[in-house]
Amino acid sequence: MRETLAALANLTRAHFFFVWPLLFCSGLALAFVNYGGFSWELVVRAALIGLFGFEAGFALNDYVDREYDRRDVNGSLTRYWRPFGERPIPAGKLSPRAAFAIFLLLAGLAAALAATLPSPHNLYVLGIMGYSYAVEYFYQITKRNQKIPLAQIVGRTDFALFPVAGYLVYGSPDATALLFFLFFYPWTLAHLGANDIADIANDRTRGMATTPVLYGMKGAAAWVLGFSAVHAGMALVFGLALGPIAVAGFAVGLILLGAANYLILRGKTPDAAMRALPLMHGSLLVYAAAIIAGAVL
């Protein structure tokens, strides 16, 4: 039983579980501000949609890449993302069929909860869910054989739409939803670049065409810096639209992101990217907290 629970925790990256409901509900908090009203019941429902939906994506990721993950030669990033330090399918702790069943279960729970939302909000959220899982599959397959980073550019739209889906639980497609996407999308691309730099040894053995494989470490570091700069510009635009609390929080997040970029640019190594990742994830938490605080206070 203990081994099974550890495998499930590794599959779902369980120690990061609190991030996804927080990020999802940051969108919902903005919708409450823009459209009026508040409901704890809806907050709980949205938090569960975000939690189950995102965890399902992790399970799908592992299922699609199950054979390629057997080629790993460096476990640093695996130990960072997995609380018990191993990929459960290649380790033989969880069968591919079981991993896919867990994906279906978690996605089904998220979809069932989303379906209870009033129309058209249920359709908005279900539509983004379906798109996101399709794009996750596209990303995993396309990055195996590409000449340009199409998998990355298209694939990270799913993560960028995640808090937007939280907004659409109560709100409608509008300027705020668009600004949230434009603010978050460059961050997701910068984060993916750092993640790929950290995992370069494994991606080379897997034959994955990630940004450092395509453009080298200098090119990948420039990718992270470039998208971080675009994100910083959008943070100013989005923050000014949200108010002073969001601006202050975004400033703290950008300091963390700037420190992450400094580490990557100075080192241009997997170890440097590994040190940068906690700073990038810290910026994400600060952003979500600042958006919620700005909406509440």
CATH of the domain spanning 2-296: 1.10.600
**Long-range Cβ contacts of 90-96 (<8 Å, 24+ apart):** 90/66, 91/7, 93/3, 93/4, 93/6, 93/7, 93/10, 94/4, 94/7, 94/8, 94/11, 96/63, 96/66
CA torsion sign for 257, 263, 269, 274 is: negative
pLDDT at 87 over 90: yes
Upstream peptide bond of 21 is cis (omega within 30 degrees of 0):
no
Triad 226, 274, 139: Cα angle to 5°: 60
pLDDT (tens digit per residue) in 174-205: 999 999 999 999 999 999 999 999 999 999 99
Domain extents for the chain?
A: 2-296
pLDDT band at 276; cut points 50, 70, 90: very high
pLDDT band at 116; cut points 50, 70, 90: very high
pLDDT at 48 over 90: yes
Q: Which residues contact 255 (CB under 8 A, 6 or more apart)?
A: none
pLDDT (tens digit per residue) in 130-189: 999 999 999 999 999 999 999 999 999 999 999 999 999 999 999 999 999 999 999 999
